[in-house]
Amino acid sequence: MPTETFYAFACDPFHAGAVARIFEIKGRDDGKPLPVLFAAASDLERLGVVASPGSLDRYFQIWPAPLTVILPISAPIAASRGLSTLAVRLPASKNLRDLLAAVGPLTGTSVNRSGAPPLSDPDTIENGFRREFDLLVDGGRTPGGNPSTLLDATREPPVVLRHGAHLWPA
């Protein structure tokens, strides 16, 4: 599915088999967690995020944006790969937020083979991954550029782990 930067492999973040399939397709180390995209603050509770509403306010003043924030969760889920933290993002793309509002949170890791650049062209994705995914949501070419900024909010002050499309501090 298209995001505000690149295309992303999406699946139910609670479904272990679907998450494992993404790792297989990407050829990615199975221990690295997958980020999860969401549409509404209430989705964070469903994902098990245990951060206080007050601590989330600073991110909701920025979101929707290409800012992925690592937050504590009450219990590991398939996408967190055994960790008690989860990287989440309220995407800037209105179309993607509408999709997420309809189906619920989905993983959002870039479409590419591990170590290769992320892809922004649906035709390239179709040609390179045709037999490996169930559905391509074709939103045309995405802007590409930098990936989302990755922020570890389990520390105070939060620490930027990857500089990207969003400039932090906001």
Distance CA 157, CA 159 (A): 6
Domains of the chain plus CATH, in order, are 8-162 (3.90.870.10)
Residues in the chain: 170
Distance CA 26, CA 21 (A): 9
pLDDT, tens only, 91-139: 999 999 999 999 999 999 999 998 999 999 999 999 999 889 999 999 9
- Tokens for 163? 């500089």
Task: Quote the pTM value.
Answer: 0.94
Per the CB < 8 A criterion, the answer to whether 160 and 168 are in contact is yes
* Helix-then-strand count for the chain, H and E: 5, 8
Closest C-alpha among 85, 50, 93 to residue 69: 85
- Tokens for 127? 């040609």
Average the pLDDT over 29-41 and give the result. Answer: 91
